[in-house]
Amino acid sequence: MAVDREWWQEAVVYQIYAQSFNDSDGDGVGDLPGITAKVDYLDELGVDVVWLTPVYDSPLADNGYDIRDYRSIHGDYGTMEDWERLRDALHARDLRLVMDLVVNHTSDEHEWFERSRRREGKYEDYYYWREEPPNDWESLWGDSAWTYDEERGEYYLHLFDVKQPDLNWRNPDVRADIYEMMRWWLEKGIDGFRMDVINLVGKPDPIPEDPDGPRWGGDHFATHETAHEFIREMDDEVLSEYDVMTVGETPRVSVDDARKFTTEDGLDMVFQFEHMHVDQHPEDPWARTEFDLREFKRIMSRWQTGLGQGWNSVYLGNHDQPRTVSRFGDDGEYRTESAKALATFLLTLGGTPFLYQGDEIGMTNVPFDTLDEHRDVWTHDEIEAALDTGRIDSFDEIADQVNYWSRDNARSPMQWTAAENAGFTAGEPWIKVNPNFPEINVAAARGDRDSVLYYYRDLIAVRAEHDAIIYGDYSQIAAENDDVFAYTRTLDGERVLVVIDFVGRAGRFALPDGVEREGLELLVANYGIADPDPTEIDLRPWEARVYHDE
């Protein structure tokens, strides 16, 4: 099979949550010079692209996903010159830089919103204003999605925080302003966009009344047909002129819609969420349901095979999710083995892998002691709403669940060394450092050839050398097995076989009949292997093996 190669299909993306990566000036907040100082580290790891979460000017109500000025850098992170230095340092090592594009909403302190609330000229209809809330939609975080603005004397829609008003994409002036801003960044030499909740930009007209139905407003229309139209237009007007990578964050997206986005509308890939919901209660955001591997396998396999000519993204964690090893692995006894097993999975599936900072050393969830230690607006808004409505009487009732799901688990500072504050800052960190940093840190991982970090490096290098891992057809094997996730990737006679104990208790795994075992050689494994024959394997907890033949 001849493959159409694109650089972003062969890339491994590393996500940097700027405020938690590395602080260069001792103010306790990670910054751009701090990232520049670690470019060699990224290069050594072997990743190809950095996705930088928002560093734009912002009141930081939602840690920067509330943008006040799209064309300037927040002082906490540095200056535009610092950003340019980071861009150049990355490019000098052939690493690319993808920026976060947050255009479903702005900050309520953005000039557009200020002018809109004053009904100034073309800005009057830049947002969704209504005399009365047309429905009882809630924001994602539990309060009403409609808030009254004194100055304008009307309610505005916000699917997220009260400080994140939704832009009215039906207004062509809004779209033109956004496209111009995108061009401005592209001309500054960026290599793509990660597009925040981009399937929410298309909203039904009129906004429906929906007396019943899901509580979150976004659930009533996510991936409305106009989302496809607007994204296609964005591609025609802007993106098609540049060789860049685009990944749309698309909550609730179906395989069919994802195929459309990636084959007809111009997006390179999307982030789907189905595998993130597998252990999440559909109605209670803090409840955790039991992880069902078979269901997980069904979901992942559907996405592996359902996109036609479209391309996948693969991720297990990011700044909105618990730590990968705490959620899908075992962050106790088998932390190292399970983190490596998950790495094997992330890097051998079809699609561009997105590795979240700290996962490459197996960072874990944080033991938060009090609500005060949480920084995330989502956590605080949700708890407030739950207290207000009497759903809970005190935070303590759900502390364990909140501590598990909190987005702050992933936002806790990157653990570089065993020195104070994990070497993240010389000052007071803005958020709690995980107390396990003396054992889990980059310096320790560098000194240990068996560390998770080395495993990532090895696997990233192996991935780059095997087209079958990047472009091969995916086929699941042993679908009915409750403990093992196993699949092949095949391209032009090259075959890769992946076998992973995904629950830490697999025991014996027999390769099903029909899977050719001749010629298979071991390529990578997370345990030392005495007997590489894949026919019958006595899998140790979280054991992962990758074989290939050509």
Which residues are near ligand NOJ by CB under 6 A? 62, 65, 102, 160, 196-197, 249, 319-320
Exactly one of 143, 249, 265, 337 is catalytic; name it. 249
Please tell me what DSSP assigns to residue 517: -
The C-alpha atoms of residue 291 and residue 279 are separated, in whole angstroms, by: 5
The amino acid that residue 15 corresponds to is Q
Tell me the two tokens of residue 163: 């400080």
CB closer to ligand NOJ out of 249 and 408: 249
CB closer to ligand NOJ out of 235 and 320: 320
CB closer to ligand NOJ out of 61 and 440: 61
* CB closest to ligand NOJ, residue no: 65
249 is catalytic: yes
Q: Give the DSSP H or E segment for 497.
A: strand 494-501
Core vs surface per residue 399-428: b (16+ CB within 10 A) or e: beebbbbbbbbbbbbbbbbeeebbbbbeee
The C-alpha atoms of residue 158 and residue 141 are separated, in whole angstroms, by: 10
Please report how close the Cβ of residue 166 comes to ligand NOJ at its closest, in angstroms.
10
CB closer to ligand NOJ out of 160 and 471: 160
Please report how close the Cβ of residue 140 comes to ligand NOJ at its closest, in angstroms.
7
Exactly one of 66, 108, 196, 257 is catalytic; name it. 196
Q: Look at residues 325, 307, 541, 337 and name the one whose alpha carbon lies nearest to residue 451.
A: 337
Please report how close the Cβ of residue 62 comes to ligand NOJ at its closest, in angstroms.
5
What region, left, alpha or beta, does residue 121 occupy, with left being phi > 0 and alpha being psi -120 to 50 degrees?
A: left
Please report how close the Cβ of residue 320 comes to ligand NOJ at its closest, in angstroms.
5
The C-alpha atoms of residue 17 and residue 30 are separated, in whole angstroms, by: 9
Please report how close the Cβ of residue 65 comes to ligand NOJ at its closest, in angstroms.
3
Q: Exposed, middle or buried by CB within 10 Å (0-12, 13-18, 19+), for 355?
A: buried
CB closer to ligand NOJ out of 340 and 407: 407
CB closer to ligand NOJ out of 50 and 506: 50
Beta-strand ranges (E) seen in 250-380 are: 269-271, 313-315, 352-356
Residues annotated catalytic, as ranges:
196, 249
